[in-house]
């Protein structure tokens, strides 16, 4: 929601439905930046070792809560997909928002992911029965620009095979993925900030921009346009998920550049800027919170976040991480949060 004054935007309990917090010192650097602006977020489990059992999950949640104590932020935890028994999933169900499936090797720390989607079906049957959502990094190992598109028939198969299973297509990047939302009632999606703004040309059209390199990689202008239309509407089955993924500078500015865009510090201000540019500020509340609450059935902490049209320059570093928009001017900033 926004106030009548066009220079102010007020949001209630904004949510980031896809975040990477890492562990240790990195977590202590980045987690407060999300907790400052958001009321909750879905935390990814692709750590080393992965978060794939109840003990590991509870330890990780405790580490997160220690880093963001008193900030009015709920970490919605996820479990790394593997073959689980019904007893394991029943035990962990009260502590998670879903289970995250990575095809093996498609992104950072996904080597232990699923080799064959058919092998996952026994666990998916249990998840469907227990009402546990499935979150998916939907890419194949094919040609990089085609990976998401090639995965769409797998989404369609899963949606038909498990009609009572909530399936979230994470960080979609193609117009075909947007269209698929309307074909199956149990398919939903998250959309990132950076995929609303950049194309592959921004990543590699001139000098290579390592801090814009991510997986799935940014696509064509027509794909970006489809994502933007879905977010601005907003489509009732899409929600914001930053996929904010911090890496130290040494891992990004390297021959083997790590995939990930660290957008947490600028996510909310830039989303307000985008929606304001399209005269759609009154629709941002649904994209940033209301849709996610309805899709997942969650009630986050009440948190009023007030942004003002007041330019600021994004720092070059947060700790040892270069943020999205580093050194650039953002037109809006968070000026007050009230719990």
The H-or-E segment that residue 95 falls in is none
Here the tokens at position 114 are 């699923």
Contact yes or no for 76/44 (Cβ under 8 A): no
Catalytic entry in 243, 282, 290, 320 = 243
Which residue, among 339, 284, 307, 301, has the nearest Cα to 40 in the 3D structure? 301
Contact yes or no for 2/301 (Cβ under 8 A): no
Distance CA 36, CA 31 (A): 9
Contact yes or no for 268/41 (Cβ under 8 A): no
Query: Sheet holding 304-313: strands in order across?
Result: 8-12, 304-313, 329-338
Told to judge if 243 belongs to the known catalytic residues of this protein, a careful annotator would answer: yes
Which residue, among 266, 282, 267, has the nearest Cα to 326 in the 3D structure? 266
Active site residues: 243
């Amino acid at each position: 929601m926004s106030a009548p004054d066009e220079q102010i935007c007020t949001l209630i309990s904004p949510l980031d439905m896809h975040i990477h917090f890492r562990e240790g010192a990195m977590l202590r650097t980045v987690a407060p930046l999300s907790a400052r602006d958001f009321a909750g977020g879905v935390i990814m489990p692709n750590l080393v070792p992965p978060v794939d059992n109840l003990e590991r999950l509870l330890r990780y949640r405790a580490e997160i809560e220690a880093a963001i104590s008193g900030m009015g932020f709920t970490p919605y935890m996820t479990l790394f997909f593997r073959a689980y028994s019904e007893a394991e999933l029943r035990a962990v169900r009260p502590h998670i928002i879903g289970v995250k499936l990575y095809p093996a090797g498609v992104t950072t720390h996904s080597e232990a992911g699923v080799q064959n989607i058919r092998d996952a079906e026994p666990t998916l049957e249990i998840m469907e029965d227990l009402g546990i959502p499935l979150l998916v990094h939907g890419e194949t190992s094919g040609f990089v620009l085609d990976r998401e598109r090639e995965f769409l028939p797998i989404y369609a198969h899963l949606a038909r095979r498990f009609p009572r299973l909530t399936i979230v297509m994470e960080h979609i990047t193609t117009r075909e993925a947007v269209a698929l939302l309307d074909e199956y009632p149990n398919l939903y999606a998250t959309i990132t900030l950076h995929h609303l703004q950049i194309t592959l040309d921004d990543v590699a059209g001139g000098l290579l921009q390592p801090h814009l390199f991510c997986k799935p990689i940014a696509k064509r202008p027509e794909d970006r346009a489809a994502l933007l239309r879905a977010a601005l509407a907003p489509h009732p089955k899409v929600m914001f998920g930053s996929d904010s993924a911090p890496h130290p500078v040494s891992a990004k500015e390297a021959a083997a550049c790590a995939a990930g865009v660290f957008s947490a510090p600028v996510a909310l201000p830039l989303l307000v800027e985008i929606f304001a540019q399209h005269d759609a500020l009154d629709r941002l509340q649904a994209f940033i919170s209301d849709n996610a609450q309805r899709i997942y059935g969650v009630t986050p902490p009440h948190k009023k976040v007030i942004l003002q049209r007041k330019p600021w320059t994004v720092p070059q570093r947060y700790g040892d991480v270069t943020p999205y928009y580093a050194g650039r001017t953002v037109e809006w900033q968070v000026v007050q949060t009230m719990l």
